[in-house]
């Protein structure tokens, strides 16, 4: 386990982010691959040693929570906010995390540093742990903690300039009475089914709708529209994940004196909006220029969207918890 008051690096053997020559035995091709360093239950280990039991209830049932975090220019962006949300998700499903928030923050920083990354996508996974083939969580004696620091590309780079096409899908967003979307759980089947619909429609992202017919969110991002002089985003009570990036956008909008409304809106409001964009830790901010084959606004990223993207990038480039101190 992670030592009290210590760092994960105290248990790390002296290896860094190693590169090795990999040979594919099926086609004989050779390529260089990175040997990632994974935080696993208090130790930093090479990825080939980061093994999860087939009896882990995170694997068997999606019983656990996770968090996605970004590092920019050697700083972990909004680390404390992400860790707080992770602990809130765990508390909601009665899952114990065997570290304090401060210890978790340190483990995240240590993992990024061990992988020698300046810019990274960090995935923190907490599962209920190893049990048996039954559902009873009491059989899981100890939760499992995994932290991965790597790279991620959610959308092609050119779409951040040109804009994205989306569709609304038949898959409805989970209702809070069943599985509250505020919990960032390992069970992402609701999102995956919506993503499958988007794939079949030939676009990269789907927007899910509530049972009442209101736009909720994408499969991995929050949604904003700019309409009639107001920046509008669905309210948390509608059944959305309260995104950390979403909160940053609301902060920036307030600083820029852009009127903000957290209110439900329909597909009609989306189709007739002046601008639209998605936000998320992995997605960052990406413009939307078409929804259900309706062109939004001029069909190009609008001035409000471009301004918010610029301000967001300025913020991520200058704020955060340093990885190397």
List active site positions: 184
DSSP string spanning 100-113? -HHHHHHHHHHHHH
Other beta carbons within 10 angstroms of residue 97's beta carbon come to 19
What single-letter DSSP state applies at residue 74?
T
161: left (phi over 0), alpha (psi -120 to 50) or beta: alpha
CA dihedral 21, 17, 319, 324 (to 10 degrees): -150
Closest by CA to 92, choosing from 264, 280, 241, is 241
Pairing of strands 222-227, 215-218: unpaired
Report the C-alpha gap between 324 and 76 in whole angstroms.
11
């Amino acid at each position: 386990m992670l030592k009290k008051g210590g760092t994960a690096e105290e248990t790390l053997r002296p290896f860094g982010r190693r590169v090795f020559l990999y040979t594919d035995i099926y086609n004989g091709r050779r390529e260089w691959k990175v040997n990632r360093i994974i935080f696993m239950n208090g130790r930093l280990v090479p990825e080939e040693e980061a093994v999860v039991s087939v009896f882990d209830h995170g694997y068997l049932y999606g019983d656990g929570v996770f968090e996605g975090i970004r590092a920019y220019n050697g700083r972990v962006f909004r680390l404390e906010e992400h860790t707080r949300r992770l602990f809130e998700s765990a508390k909601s499903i009665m899952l114990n995390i065997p570290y304090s928030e401060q210890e978790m923050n340190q483990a995240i920083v240590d993992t990024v540093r061990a992988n020698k990354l300046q810019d990274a996508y960090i995935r923190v996974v907490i599962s209920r742990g190893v049990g048996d083939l039954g559902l009873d969580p009491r059989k899981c004696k100890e939760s499992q903690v995994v932290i991965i620091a790597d790279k991620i590309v959610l959308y092609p780079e050119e779409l951040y300039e040109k804009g994205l096409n989306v569709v609304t899908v038949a898959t409805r967003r989970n209702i809070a009475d069943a599985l509250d979307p505020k919990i960032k759980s390992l069970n992402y089947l609701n999102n995956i089914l919506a993503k499958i619909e988007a794939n079949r429609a030939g676009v990269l992202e789907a927007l899910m709708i509530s049972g009442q017919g209101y736009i909720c969110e994408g499969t991995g991002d929050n949604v904003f529209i700019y309409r009639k002089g107001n920046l509008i985003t669905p309210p948390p009570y509608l059944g959305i994940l309260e995104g950390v990036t979403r909160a940053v956008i609301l902060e920036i909008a307030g600083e820029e004196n852009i009127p903000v409304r957290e209110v439900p809106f329909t597909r009609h409001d989306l189709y007739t909006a002046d601008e639209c964009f998605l936000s998320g830790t992995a997605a960052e901010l990406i413009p939307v220029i078409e929804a259900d084959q309706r062109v939004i606004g001029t069909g190009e990223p609008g001035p409000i969207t471009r301004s918010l993207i610029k301000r967001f990038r300025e913020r991520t480039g200058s704020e955060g918890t340093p990885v190397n101190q």
